[in-house]
Amino acid sequence: MIDIVCGGQAGDEGKGKISAYLSYKGDYDYCVRVGGPNAGHTVVKDGKSYTLKNIPSGFLNPKTKLVLGAGAYTKTEWLLDEVKFTGTADRLIIDPYAVLISEEQTAAERNAAHFMKHIGSVGTGLGQAVRERIERRDIKYAKDEPLLKDYIQDVPELLNKSLDNGGQILLEGTQGIKLSLLHGEYPFVTSRDTTASTFLGEAGLGPKSVRDVYVVFKPYITRVGPGPLEKEITDEKELEIYHTKGHEIGSVSKRLRRIGEFEMRSASRAIMINNCTKIAITHMDMFPGNDHVKNEADFTPEAQAFLARLRALSKEVYPHPQIALISTGPDMEDTLVLK
């Protein structure tokens, strides 16, 4: 069966932590990542922090094999650095048609005012690489890089054979629905769709074997670049709390994130379009007095009120998901599982 992790906001929701937790506590044969290095995922285990641009966050489970699908974009040197950092050379599998971003593509993106100023690109070269792929340019694939030859396998065949034999797959999506090229707040979007359906296609998987779709939310919303925030927070003292305690600094861009209040309307669309079956909430410790809470009954009234609002929303929106996971601190173990 397949479980999918998606972002319900504008990225930076904590998908890395949720993916790492599910993989570490679960029994997945494969953890698959799609998307590009413009979106970093951060995992904290036993006080040690890992920020990953390419390697799936499920790497902490030594039994789980790590896969980059055809919808993945990377740079060879960045990927190999992460392989060394995580010690995962014996578990990494790469689709031959994953794209390798060139220095020329990165330079072209950084020199383009449209990318950098108007839509707030983080300048990794992903947007330019996607553009050239769409234009059928002579781009470089993983299969073309000798340094990656030992990792190349037919990912769709591998994953679907695993499913046929009862295998378990965790599909780790990137960014969030408000950044989707199709369903986001155009033109302040990324270069691809960022919903569960597209993540499946980018990995070479179909919908038949999907068990659960986790959509991840924070009790507030952040943006690294330009774009609408319905109720943006501008008070400097309040922002400082988010930027320090909440670590609201872009993991790739290193920019301070803009902060806004939780948007119920956009959350309902994230639930609907992704066909969310389970909600995961991160950063609940940003409500004062909720650090490292281990039982839902121990949340403060403010936090309880937020959960009640989200539950009321889920009753109104198909497919009526339940809140399944709540994070109350940065470490992977600061996670409540709700039955």
Ligand-binding site membership of 263 (annotated)? no
CB 68 within 8 A of CB 95: yes
Q: Is 162 annotated as a binding residue?
A: no
> Is 17 annotated in some ligand binding site?
yes
268 is in an annotated binding site: no
Give CA angle at 318 (316, 320), nearest 5°: 70
The answer to the question of whether 133 is labelled as a binding residue is no
Q: Is 300 annotated as a binding residue?
A: no
- Establish whether 329 is an annotated binding residue: yes
Confirm or deny that 291 is annotated as ligand binding. Answer: no
Of these residues, 3, 29, 41, 95, which one is catalytic? 41
CA dist 120 → 74, 218, 256 (Å): 20, 22, 13
**Contact residues for 176 (Cβ-Cβ < 8 A; gap 6+):** 6, 7, 8, 9, 10, 11, 12, 13, 194, 270
For residue 12, indicate whether it is catalytic: yes
Q: Is 176 among the annotated ligand-binding positions?
A: no
Q: Is 46 annotated as a binding residue?
A: no
Q: How many degrees, rounded to 5, is the angle at CA 177 between CA 37 and CA 284?
A: 90
Was 3 annotated as part of a binding site? Answer: no
254 is in an annotated binding site: yes
Catalytic position from the list 12, 95, 193, 334? 12
Helix (H) or strand (E) holding 63: none
Q: 42 labelled as ligand-binding?
A: yes
Spatial CB neighbours of 233, under 8 Å, sequence gap ≥ 6: 220, 239, 242, 259, 260, 261
**Amino acid occupying residue 262:** F
Give the span between the Cα atoms of 180 and 195, in whole angstroms.
7
* Residues ≥6 apart with Cβ < 8 Å to 21: 325, 332, 335
Is 81 annotated in a binding site? The answer is no
DSSP 122-165: -SSSHHHHHHHHHTT--PEEGGG-GGGGGGB--HHHHHHHHHHT
- Residue 20, SS3? helix
Q: List, as residue ranges, the binding site for IMP.
A: 12-15, 38-41, 136, 175, 190, 255
Q: List, as residue ranges, the binding site for Mg(2+).
A: 12, 40
Q: Known catalytic residues? A: 12, 41
Q: List, as residue ranges, the binding site.
A: 11-17, 38-42, 136, 175, 190, 251-257, 283-285, 327-329
Q: List, as residue ranges, the binding site for GTP.
A: 11-17, 40-42, 257, 283-285, 327-329
Q: List, as residue ranges, the binding site for substrate.
A: 251-257
